[in-house]
């Protein structure tokens, strides 16, 4: 059956890959018996048994380190970290070990490891709401993937699993379409449009480093990641009614980053707004801004605009959380601000 | 145990239980912000330990922190209003259920990162030792947290620096969905104390008298410069891991078995039989607490939301 939700697309990718290659093993907190905080691994324990689908102690250092050690010696682990915030507990293993071992050892070893982790703010305050993609963009040796649709999620996860390098694979909580740990489903998938493309039940991969133009347009380039892709598509539709033709690009992988598609688009539109849910300083949008400034400055008719979370932890109260996250109306205003500047 | 202490502890346990029951009802019947992890069933642990603490002693807590807050003396209005994400919440709506704190009573905060409070409590213990005024610090944490690196590093540091810290492990059998027997190869987490060269003790966490007695010894040892203790309290959570989580990983029979030893029921039996209190006295306490909880709800409802940009005040000191 085609997967209409990211949770199902990811599960399909895991199942198909595990059937293909018996070296693929899964580990993480509450992934086996419980089926995962966001239900991605539901049913996999029954299908593949406890040697391949392992619940772990709450020990992020140990499970990340063990995944690396297993990857160095022939297995292909897919590790789930329950919330991306907890990657902070495993930072040495990820950034000093996984990212660097092959390099330091002169290429003797490969580390075919995928670390999956949910990102995004859903009312759970500062330690459970971050979007930490940029931390890992800043560490050479890691690939960084962030899909926004079921179609992309499946194809990219398969590519990640087949990759011989450590891949950080981020999943947005509001796009799973499944309940968060213990909760009722807090989800945005019910009112997304056809851009939330389902994943067919077939074997396909999506290469890293190829952005996807989610909506083409001529007046302004919008680059967005994760959930923000869908906010931007909605904003683009509204702006379309006002005669502003927005192009929405989803890089899909942040490392490697498809600079060409972004630069070509800016050459066409002369304007760029970058929308992401991580914090502004040294963030996803900062990096993309720099790429545009270095490569397409003379095509620009307006300053580059970044729309991200201001430099703050995510506050708990909904009024404040909403205030720091990029909202559709804000995105519309920011896009207008660069469009009008050139006219 | 004198009557005053007994009644104090009874009231605290009832406050925690009724607070949690009210919250559960609120989450069922109206949109409430965020999520929550409830403490029903584990009341004897927080209350038995905190009964020995003064305002200027410190506590670090966990994602399951409502009980620790109430036991340490945080005003219920402030805790409830924080659950409502109101400006009058004890963290001004910035933290919510997983980050409730009140420094005026030594409550250093619930922490959403499993295990993180253990080394922080060691640090607070260092301050206590440095000041030399006999203060202590307490880390509450779960069985799951005992498998974090922070557990090892935090307790070892406290042991080697001989810090006045009581490490209170609430072994409620599960870390989220995972039974402790599937995450550790020993039966008692307290046994790990030997590896740090400190005393370790297994305590019946459903019996507030026993928690009170054993933690009393640990607190006294710490106050006198004897260093840290690891107390493992065997307990059970009566609710799902969080909010409406259904706990399919455990059996109804197991839950019912533990509920027979409901810490509040057990203590009531003791109060009525052994301390010869009257049922009516206990009922009056229950009624007082009911009023207090209702008042905390209406206080929260009356309270204003934070301003959308209030968060800017708290990024840096
Ligand atoms: C570092 C970290 N890893 C994982 C989690 C997700 N998580 C929250 S509570 C929990 C279970 C904790 O179990 P335990 O320490 O036994 O406490 P309990 O919930 O039983 O009170 C998990 C896995 C987290 N918050 N922080
Ligand atoms: Mg537990």
Distance B182 CA to ligand 2 centre (A): 12
**Among B39, B42, B63, B112, which residue has the most ligand 1 atoms within 8 Å of its CB, making it the best to mutate?**
B63
Predicted ipTM beyond 0.85: yes
Q: Which residues pair with A221 in a beta bridge?
A: A247, A272
- Whether A178 shows a pLDDT value over 90: the answer reads no
More confident residue, A187 or A239: A239
The residue assigned the tokens 């991306």 is A84
CATH number listed for the domain at residues B3-303: 3.40.50.970
Mean pLDDT of chain A, nearest integer: 96
**pLDDT for the residue numbered A184:** 64
- pTM equals 0.97
Task: Name the residue of chain A whose CA is nearest to B309's CA.
Answer: A320
Q: Which residues of A touch B98 (CB under 8 A)?
A: 124-125, 127-128
**Shortest Cα distance, chain A CAs vs residue B12, angstroms:** 27
Q: Which CATH superfamily is domain A6-191 in?
A: Thiamin diphosphate (ThDP)-binding fold, Pyr/PP domains (3.40.50.970)
Contacts 24+ apart (CB under 8 A), B130-135: B133/B56, B134/B164, B134/B223, B134/B224, B135/B54, B135/B56, B135/B57, B135/B58, B135/B164, B135/B223
Q: Give the model confidence (pLDDT) of A302-331 as tens digits.
A: 999 999 999 999 999 999 999 999 999 999
pLDDT-based confidence at A191, cuts 50/70/90? confident
Q: Which residues of A touch B312 (CB under 8 A)?
A: 312
**pLDDT for the residue numbered B17:** 98
Q: Average pLDDT by consecutive 10-residue portion of chain B (317 residues)? A: 96 98 97 97 98 98 98 98 98 98 98 98 98 98 98 98 99 98 98 98 98 98 98 98 94 98 98 97 98 98 98 98
Say whether A212-338 and A6-191 share the same fold.
yes
Q: Torsion-angle region of residue A36: left (phi > 0), alpha (psi -120 to 50) or beta?
A: left
Q: Closest Cα to residue B237, out of B286, B186, B283, B171?
A: B171
pLDDT-based confidence at A190, cuts 50/70/90? confident
DSSP conformational letter for A200: P
- Domain positions in chain A: 6-191, 212-338
Q: Which residues of A touch B307 (CB under 8 A)?
A: 319
- Interchain proximity B94–A86, CB inside 8 Å: no
Is there a catalytic annotation at residue A138? no
Q: Give the model confidence (pLDDT) of B45-56 as tens digits.
A: 999 999 999 999
Q: How many helices (H) and strands (E) does chain A have?
A: 13, 12
pLDDT-based confidence at A343, cuts 50/70/90? very low
- Interchain proximity A323–B311, CB inside 8 Å: yes
Q: Give the model confidence (pLDDT) of A12-70 as tens digits.
A: 999 999 999 999 999 999 999 999 999 999 999 999 999 999 999 999 999 999 999 99
Q: Closest Cα to residue A135, out of A172, A168, A175, A174?
A: A168
- Interchain proximity A320–B243, CB inside 8 Å: no
The topology (CATH level 3) of A212-338 is: Rossmann fold (3.40.50)
- Interchain proximity B315–A313, CB inside 8 Å: yes
- Whether A186 shows a pLDDT value over 80: the answer reads no
**Shortest Cα distance, chain A CAs vs residue B309, angstroms:** 6
**Among B62, B96, B144, which residue has the most ligand 1 atoms within 8 Å of its CB, making it the best to mutate?**
B144
Side-chain half-sphere CA neighbours of A49 within 13 A = 4
**pLDDT for the residue numbered A182:** 58
């Amino acid at each position: 059956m085609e997967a209409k939700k990211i949770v199902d697309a990811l599960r399909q990718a895991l199942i198909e890959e595990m059937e293909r290659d018996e070296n693929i093993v899964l580990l993480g907190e509450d992934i086996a018996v419980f089926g995962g905080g966001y239900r991605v691994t539901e049913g996999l324990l029954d299908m593949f048994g406890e040697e391949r689908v392992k619940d772990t102690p709450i020990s992020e250092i140990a499970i990340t380190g063990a995944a690396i050690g297993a990857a160095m010696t022939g297995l292909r682990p897919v590790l789930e970290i329950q919330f991306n915030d907890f990657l902070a507990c495993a930072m040495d293993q990820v950034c000093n070990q996984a990212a660097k071992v092959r390099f330091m050892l002169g290429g003797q070893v490969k580390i075919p490891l995928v670390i999956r982790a949910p990102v995004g703010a859903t009312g759970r305050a500062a330690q459970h709401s971050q979007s930490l993609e940029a931390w890992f963009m800043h560490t050479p040796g890691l690939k960084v993937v962030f899909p926004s649709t079921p179609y992309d999620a499946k194809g990219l996860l398969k590519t990640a699993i087949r990759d011989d390098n450590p891949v950080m694979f981020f999943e947005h909580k509001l796009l799973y379409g499944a309940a968060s740990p213990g909760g009722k489903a807090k989800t945005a998938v019910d009112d997304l449009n056809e851009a939330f493309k389902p994943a067919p039940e077939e074997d396909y991969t999506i290469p890293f480093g190829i952005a996807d133009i989610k909506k083409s347009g001529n007046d302004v380039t919008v680059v967005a990641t994760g959930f923000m892709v869908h906010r931007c598509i909605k904003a683009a539709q509204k702006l379309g009614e006002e005669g502003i033709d927005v192009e929405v690009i989803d890089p899909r992988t942040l490392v490697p980053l498809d600079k060409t598609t972004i630069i070509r688009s800016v050459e066409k539109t002369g304007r760029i707004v970058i929308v992401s849910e991580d914090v502004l300083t040294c963030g996803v949008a900062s990096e993309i801004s720099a790429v545009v400034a270095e490569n397409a400055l003379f095509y620009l008719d307006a300053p580059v605009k970044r729309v991200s979370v201001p430099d703050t932890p995510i506050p708990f109260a909904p009024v404040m959380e909403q205030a720091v996250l990029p909202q559709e109306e804000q995105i519309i205003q920011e896009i207008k601000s660069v469009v009008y500047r050139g006219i | 145990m004198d009557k005053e202490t007994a009644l104090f502890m009874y009231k605290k346990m009832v406050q925690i239980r009724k607070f949690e029951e009210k919250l559960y009802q609120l989450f069922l019947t109206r949109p409430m912000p965020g999520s929550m992890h409830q403490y029903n069933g584990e009341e004897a642990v927080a209350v038995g330990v905190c009964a020995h603490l003064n305002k200027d002693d410190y506590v670090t807590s966990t994602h399951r922190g409502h009980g620790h807050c109430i036991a340490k003396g945080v005003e219920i209005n402030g805790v409830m209003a924080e659950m409502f994400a109101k400006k009058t919440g004890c963290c001004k709506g910035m933290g919510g259920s997983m980050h409730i704190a009140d420094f005026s009573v030594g409550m250093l905060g619930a922490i959403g990162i499993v295990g993180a409070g253990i080394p922080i409590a060691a640090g607070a213990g260092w301050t206590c030792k440095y000041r030399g005024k006999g203060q202590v610090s307490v880390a509450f944490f779960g069985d799951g947290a005992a498998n974090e690196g922070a557990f090892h590093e935090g307790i070892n540091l406290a042991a080697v620096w001989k810090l006045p810290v009581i490490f209170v492990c609430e072994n409620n059998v599960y870390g989220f969905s995972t039974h402790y027997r599937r995450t550790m190869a020993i039966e008692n987490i307290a046994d790990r104390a030997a590896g740090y060269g400190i005393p370790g003790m297994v305590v019946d966490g459903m019996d507030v008298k026993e928690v009170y007695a054993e933690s009393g010894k640990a607190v006294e040892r710490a106050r006198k410069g004897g260093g840290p203790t690891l107390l493992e309290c065997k307990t059970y959570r009566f609710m799902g891991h969080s909010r409406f989580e259904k706990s399919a990983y455990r059996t109804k029979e197991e839950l019912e078995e533990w509920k027979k030893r409901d810490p509040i029921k057990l203590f009531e039996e003791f109060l009525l039989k052994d301390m010869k209190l009257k049922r009516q006295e206990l009922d009056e306490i229950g009624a007082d607490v009911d009023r207090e909880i209702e008042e905390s709800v209406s206080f929260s409802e009356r309270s204003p939301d934070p301003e959308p940009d209030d968060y800017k005040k708290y990024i840096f000191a």
